[in-house]
Amino acid sequence: MQSKEYNVDATVGAFVPHFMRAEIAGPLGIKVGLFVMNEEWVQLFVPRENKVFRFPTDELARDSVRRDRFLSLLPLPIVPQLYFESLLTRSGLPDKDPANLVCELREAEHDYQIRWTEPAVKGAARKRELLVDASTFHPMRFRESDVAGRDFLDVRFSKPAGEGTATFPRKIEIFLESTKRLTFTWKEAELWQNITSEPFDWKPPPGAQVQDF
């Protein structure tokens, strides 16, 4: 994982809707952090400080000063509402087809363009667009913009591996407001079978200082 400020290796396990574990190491393999998300908490453990920062999972999707303060502590920038979609290649598609969803085959670009509008929960509604390769059906690009067409989020997928529902893009680039913020380059990836919540049931170690947000 690489951003302007960081270049780290991470072992990541995740499954929807809200389970994730990332063991983060520096260039020399030294463990610098553990990020765990489950039904109850989003937690960041910093071994060097023996300190745990945590935030309630059910509040992660809500805009708040508390949430922004917590996310600013994380070693990598996170867009909460689309983090799983980007990593798991769902690409932001809604669970249920909205009435305004439009899918068009663009022959010149050799892709399918899927467009829809997400209703406003807080603030203005957002327009979303997903481009899918017309031959392989691999996701190529996801964009989220405001109603005036100004890009808020741009996710670009490349180097796909696997077939069918096991397809996985080995490179994911995330741009926020037209500025590249984060690049995921997966060295290895595999689809977990019969996964349970056990790897995500993490508790702070004895003696660690816990700071709630």
**Taking residues 89-106, what's their average pLDDT?**
70
pTM tops 0.75 = no
Q: Across all residues in the chain, what is the average pLDDT?
A: 79
Res 185 pLDDT > 80: yes
Q: Give the pLDDT mean for 122-127.
A: 72
Q: What is the mean pLDDT of residues 120-131?
A: 75
pLDDT at position 205: 93
**What local confidence, expressed as pLDDT, does residue 210 receive?**
95
Q: What is the pLDDT of residue 96?
A: 57
Q: Is residue 8's pLDDT more than 90?
A: no
Given pLDDT bands bounded at 50, 70 and 90, which one contains residue 113? very high
Q: Residue 91 above 60 pLDDT? A: no
For residues 179-183, give the mean pLDDT: 76
Indicate the domain borders of the chain: 9-212
Burial bucket for residue 132 (CB in 10 Å: 0-12, 13-18, 19+): buried
Strand ordering across the sheet containing 9-15: 9-15, 19-25, 31-37, 41-46, 51-56, 209-212
Specify the CATH architecture of the domain 9-212. Clam (2.50)
